[in-house]
């Protein structure tokens, strides 16, 4: 490539990036997407903690039935016990994901701050001056300036582009899984909470029954007990479904908030290494 054309392309690209850095449209979009992802993670973390709380209460719940005068105690909370540990660990994953997004938002604010942008503009301007300067310039000075300018450009646009690409990845591939699983967890939390409430209400009311009302309850209990096995089987299936949806959400947030940023960081390190291995020992006009 002719030196003049090469210099022109480098200068044009650098000036466009500096203008974008000052105008800030990429920062605005990136900040919006980061805030949206953080809100989504915090809502899911709240659901996880709430589900953990209602399951813990349900573990001590007992539904007393007296079919034909024989006492039977149904403990639905025990069926939920195996999934309780999974829910608790899921809440830790959501806390980690929320922290990751919070850190990304903080770094985005730092790297898009006016101080950082002005420093970037000064270094890029000095690099362009050295590109077009026809007099001899120290090769070491030229290399240091070009490398610093390239590194600041990478840092300046890394996090906004990470937020934009991460949200695009979520929208195209992860959104259906998140919405379905999040809805299921919310419904499960409400169902378990209703079970706890109804159990306490029934226990309080049972203490005030007369002998005749208890006899009526025995007849009703005999009919209800026939269906108890079906209720237990349905709840066990619900627990299996709950575990599946929790795993789906873990995969969604690990991909978006941990693995995807690590991939972006790896690409940034490769780009920075490429910049630092460029040789600027001679003027590009020579």
Pair of tokens at residue 148: 């610093």
Cβ 241 vs Cβ 181: under 8 Å: no
Position 22 in a domain: yes
Number of domains in the chain: 1
pLDDT tens, N- to C-terminus, the chain (286 residues):
677 777 788 889 889 999 999 998 999 999 999 999 999 999 999 999 988 888 877 766 655 544 444 445 556 556 677 788 888 899 999 999 999 999 999 999 999 999 999 999 999 999 999 888 877 777 788 888 888 999 999 999 999 999 999 999 999 999 999 999 999 998 888 877 776 665 544 444 444 444 334 434 443 444 454 455 566 666 677 777 888 999 999 999 999 999 999 998 898 888 888 877 765 444 444 4
Give the span between the Cα atoms of 94 and 52, in whole angstroms.
13
Residue 285 in domain: no
Domain membership of residue 43 (yes or no) is: yes
Q: Is residue 286 part of a domain?
A: no
Tell me, yes or no, whether 281 lies in a domain: no
Residue 123 has what pLDDT? 93
Q: Does 272 fall in a domain?
A: yes
State residue 219's pLDDT score.
39
Its domain, for residue 161, covers 3-276
Q: State pTM to two decimals.
A: 0.79
In a domain, 144, yes or no: yes
Model pLDDT, residue 77:
59
Q: CB of 275 within 8 A of CB of 147? A: yes
Residue at 284 is within a domain? no
The SS3 call for residue 74 is: strand
d(CA 200, CA 186): 22
Cα separations (Å) of 144 from 107, 131, 132, 135, 270? 24, 13, 16, 18, 18
Q: Which of 124, 132, 118 is closest to 148 using CA atoms?
A: 124
């Amino acid at each position: 490539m002719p030196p003049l054309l090469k210099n022109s392309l480098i200068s044009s690209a650098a000036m466009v990036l500096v203008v974008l850095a000052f105008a800030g449209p990429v920062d605005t979009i990136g900040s919006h997407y980061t805030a949206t992802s953080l809100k989504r993670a915090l809502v899911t973390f709240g659901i996880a903690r709430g589900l953990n709380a209602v399951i813990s209460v349900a573990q001590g719940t007992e539904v007393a039935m007296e079919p034909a005068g024989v006492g039977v105690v149904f403990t639905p909370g025990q069926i939920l016990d195996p999934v309780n540990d999974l829910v608790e660990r899921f809440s830790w994953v959501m806390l980690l994901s929320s922290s990751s997004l919070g850190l990304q938002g903080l770094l985005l604010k730092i790297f898009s701050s006016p101080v950082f942008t002005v420093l970037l503009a000064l270094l890029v301007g000095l690099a362009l001056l050295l590109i077009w300067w026809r007099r001899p310039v120290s090769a070491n000075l030229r290399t240091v300036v070009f490398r610093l300018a390239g590194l600041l450009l990478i840092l300046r646009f890394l996090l906004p582009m990470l937020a934009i690409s991460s949200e695009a990845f979520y929208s195209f591939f992860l959104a259906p899984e998140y919405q379905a699983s999040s809805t299921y967890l919310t419904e499960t939390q409400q169902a378990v909470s209703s079970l706890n409430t109804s159990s306490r209400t029934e226990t309080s009311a049972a203490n005030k029954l007369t002998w005749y009302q208890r006899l009526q309850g025995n007849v009703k209990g005999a009919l209800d007990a026939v269906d108890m096995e079906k209720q237990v089987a349905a709840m066990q299936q619900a627990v299996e479904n709950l575990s599946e949806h929790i795993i789906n959400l873990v995969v969604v947030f690990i991909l978006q908030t941990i693995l995807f940023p690590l991939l972006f960081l790896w690409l940034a390190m490769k780009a920075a290494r490429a910049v630092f291995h460029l040789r600027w020992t001679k003027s590009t006009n020579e």
